[in-house]
């Protein structure tokens, strides 16, 4: 039997929904303990074999330990039962940040395009159109990551009670940060604090593929990373010239709206309220 108390506060996802921004905000809270890895991903197959000692050593000893692993939600089929089994009598709390599924999948796709992911996975994706809708017509399972209610019901609520989950929306986190942070801290049982960080703490889409390689290099150089984050000039350029958007056409948004509409309606019923932040589904 495990004698140590494992982390039981989780930010489980989703990806491309403010996870880096939230991590950098929480890092400024004096009573929060986060792993320097940012995305621990212990309960995923690639790390689970490392064992509990490795997991615990990922966190500073002081403070409330929060496992910030945004891939957990999508991989709930493997992750949720592992958390259930390992935590035993502990009652975990799960923060879930959801983004309009159309924007989420588009952002994920653009990231995969720009970082060379599809080239590295050529055996799985031999043909990669530059347009998202054309891509998912060839590989329809790519869209399943945006079926939030389906994932929640099939892989998480079969192991945990609904009261253990806090759902907030990415769009609110961006536009009403202070209020959302108060909700999150309250849910985790942490003292309220006004938290802030710089624009470069947001993992935005970058304009050019070579910028991702540059970013990966900077991440491995803590002093340079710290200097750039503290530079007002760099943050200005990051916000205005290095970041990019990849908007979808009206026709493509309409096609994706039809795909996700049933799952979004189920999600509204489950949470007991409308989601006006997602204008495609009003």
When pLDDT is averaged across residues 53-66 and rounded to a whole number, the result is 92
Topology adopted by domain 9-198+263-281: Rossmann fold (3.40.50)
When pLDDT is averaged across residues 79-108 and rounded to a whole number, the result is 96
Task: Give the length of the chain.
Answer: 282
Above 50 in pLDDT, residue 136? yes
| Per-residue pLDDT tens digits for 210-258 | 555 665 565 566 676 566 566 666 565 555 545 556 779 999 999 999 9
Whole-model pTM: value is: 0.84
- Round the average pLDDT of the chain to a whole number and report it: 87
Above 90 in pLDDT, residue 203? no
How far are the Cα atoms of 76, 82, 84, 227 from residue 159, in angstroms, in the given order? Answer: 10, 10, 7, 44
**pLDDT > 90: what percent of the chain?**
68
Question: Rounded to whole angstroms, how far apart are CA atoms 38 and 20?
Answer: 8
| Domain extent listing, the chain | 9-198+263-281
């Amino acid at each position: 039997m495990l004698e140590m108390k494992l982390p039981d506060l989780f930010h489980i996802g989703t990806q491309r929904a403010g996870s880096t921004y939230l991590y950098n905000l929480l890092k400024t809270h004096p009573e929060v303990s986060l792993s320097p890895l940012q995305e621990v991903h212990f309960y995923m197959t690639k790390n689970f074999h490392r064992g509990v000692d490795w997991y615990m050593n990922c966190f500073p000893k002081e403070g409330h330990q929060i496992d910030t692993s945004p891939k957990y939600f999508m991989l709930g089929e493997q992750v949720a039962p592992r958390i259930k089994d390992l935590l035993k009598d502990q009652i975990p709390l799960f923060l879930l940040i959801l983004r309009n599924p159309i924007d989420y999948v588009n952002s994920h796709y653009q990231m995969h395009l720009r970082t060379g992911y599809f080239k590295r996975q050529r055996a799985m994706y031999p043909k990669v159109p530059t347009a998202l809708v054309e891509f998912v017509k060839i590989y329809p399972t790519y869209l399943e990551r945006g079926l939030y209610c389906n994932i929640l019901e099939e892989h998480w609520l079969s192991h945990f009670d609904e009261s253990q989950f806090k759902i907030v929306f990415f769009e609110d986190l961006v536009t009403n940060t202070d209020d959302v942070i108060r909700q999150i801290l309250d849910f985790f049982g942490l003292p309220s604090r006004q938290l802030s960080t710089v624009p470069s703490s947001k993992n935005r889409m970058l304009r050019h593929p070579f910028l991702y390689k540059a970013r990966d290099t900077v991440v491995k150089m803590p002093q340079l990373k710290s200097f750039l984050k503290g530079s007002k000039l760099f943050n200005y350029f990051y916000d205005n010239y290095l970041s990019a958007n990849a908007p979808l056409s009206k026709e493509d948004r309409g096609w994706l709206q039809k795909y996700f509409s049933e799952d979004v309606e189920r999600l509204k019923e489950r949470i007991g309220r409308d989601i006006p932040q997602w204008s495609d589904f009003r």
